[in-house]
Structure 1
Amino acid sequence: MSDFDTPPEIEQALARISSYRNVRGVMILLREPLGIVKSSGAVFDGEAGRVYAKAVEGIVVTTARAVAECEEGDVLRLMRIRTKRHELIITPDGRFLSVVLQDPDL
């Protein structure tokens, strides 16, 4: 976790999103330097959270570059990645990335 002071409205949004039964975890990442600002859910605890953070950051950088190459001036806004077991919803912003990991079968 970071020493970043999370505004109350962000805390409320995280609590609301985390309360959905299919959500396994929520994570807010600072992009530069890459770090976890806030997370909830055991799936993002400890080293697992750092692994997800690094993977998500790499996915976003690569995908944003591809989007820009395909359509000049276009910007990546939201990504949904579904695997056999989970679905990641990634929302990149200038300074932050938000990540929601959910079980799509619930």
Structure 2
Amino acid sequence: MGDTAAIDETFKRLQSHKGVLGVIVANADGIAIRTTFDNELTVQYAALVTHFTVKSRSVVRKLDPENELKFLRIRSKKHEIMIAPEFERNCEYYLILVQDQAMGV
């Protein structure tokens, strides 16, 4: 997953943005590798978001087999969830950022 110092720096940078509630990196199985949330929220977000992302990726591919999902943004009344999936050969990771909708972009 890369250099630990670079990952730490990325987490710090993301957390420093106004309104960010938490950041998670999850693997293809929906298991968090790194998180700033408590265990309960981490498990919930990681599992549900990775499942949703896989479904979204399938929709994009079915609409255009040469296209690829690069980023997802889910906005609700309270929160905004931003997902940056990384699909490489035999390796999938999901960067999940949750922010307060009132503070978001």
Q: TM-score range by the shorter chain?
A: 0.7 to 0.9
Determine the C-alpha separation between the residues in 1 that align with 2:27 and 2:52. 15
Match 1:102 to one of 91, 94, 99: 99
Deviations 1:50-99 (A, max 9, x none): 01111001110110000000011211000000001000000000221000
**Which residue of structure 1 aligns with residue 52 of structure 2?**
59
Does residue 27 of structure 2 align to residue 34 of structure 1? no
In 2, the alpha carbon distance for the partners of 1:73 and 1:5 equals 28
C-alpha distance in 2 between matches for 1:6 and 1:27: 16
Assess, with a 3 A threshold, how the Cα gap between structure 1 residues 29 and 52 changes in structure 2: closer, same or farther: same
Aligned residue for 2:18, secondary structure, equals coil
Among all aligned residue pairs of Structure 1 and Structure 2, give the percentage whose two residues are the same amino acid: 25
Q: Matches of residues 3-42 of structure 1 in structure 2 within 5 Å?
A: 7-31=4-28, 33-40=29-36
Aligned partners of 1:64 and 1:53: how far apart in 2? 16
Shift of 1:21: 2.2
Matched, 1:69 2:48: no
TM-score by length of 1: 0.86
Runs (4+) off by over 4 Å: none
| CA drift at 1:101 | 0.2
Q: Tell me the C-alpha RMSD between the 2 structures.
A: 1.6
Instruction: Name the aligned partner's letter for residue 26 of structure 1.
Output: V
* Larger fraction in strand: 2
CA separation of 1:66 and 1:15: change in aligned 2, threshold 3 A: same
| Structure 2 gap segments, 5+ residues each | none
Deviation at 1:7, TM superposition (A): 1.7
What 5-or-longer segments of structure 1 have no aligned partner? Answer: none
Count of matched residue positions in the alignment of Structure 1 and Structure 2: 99
| Mapped contact 2:77–2:101 kept (Cα < 8 A) | no
